[in-house]
Amino acid sequence: MMDDDPQYLVDNNVLTKLTVQDRASAFFTARCHIPTEVLYEARDYPDYSTLAKREYRTTPSVLRHLVDVLKTVPSNDTKLLNLYANQGNADPLIIACALDGKSRNDGQLFGPTWIVVSDDGAVQSNAVKLGVPLMTSVEFRALFDSAE
């Protein structure tokens, strides 16, 4: 892996569209990451132990970035996060992980671009709001097809 290779933070709605073979591929294991909360959603996958090796942990730094993400969400907006319905816990965290990954490049001439891969409209909208690059599952799938 090159230091400036793009790194992908993969949402559960994209993981479900990948095969077990895709998730075990050299491309996935070298460049894809799964935030802790997304990994929790994937806990019943047959290849969970393989996915767990790609965990992007929720660290204090990620939580600091989560504060920045939540500042952009109006208090009456339940699209990205709805704690009352126990929905969307992973959604703001995937964006926070991308901001955290990006911050690792601070002070460096080069570094990887951290890209959120999600088909969730609220995740996409908030990623754009915060300047986080994103991809849909269709665009992401094309990377696997070109790698073969």
Q: In Å, how far from its chain's centre is CA 134?
A: 9
Q: Where are the domains of the chain?
A: 7-147
Say what the pTM is.
Answer: 0.89
CATH superfamily placement of domain 7-147: 5'-nuclease (3.40.50.1010)
Mean pLDDT for the chain overall: 88
Question: Model confidence over 76-135: pLDDT tens digits?
Answer: 776 666 655 556 678 899 999 999 999 988 777 778 999 999 999 989 999 999 999 999
In the chain, beta strands by DSSP E? 7-10, 32-35, 55-56, 114-117, 134-135
In this structure, the dihedral spanned by the alpha carbons of residues 136, 26, 20 and 22, taken in order and rounded to 10 degrees, is 40
CA distance linking residue 52 with residue 13, whole number of Å: 17
Q: How many CB atoms neighbour CB 114 within 10 A? A: 22
Position 86 scores a pLDDT of 57
CA distance linking residue 142 with residue 85, whole number of Å: 34
Asked whether the predicted pLDDT for residue 66 surpasses 60, the reply is yes
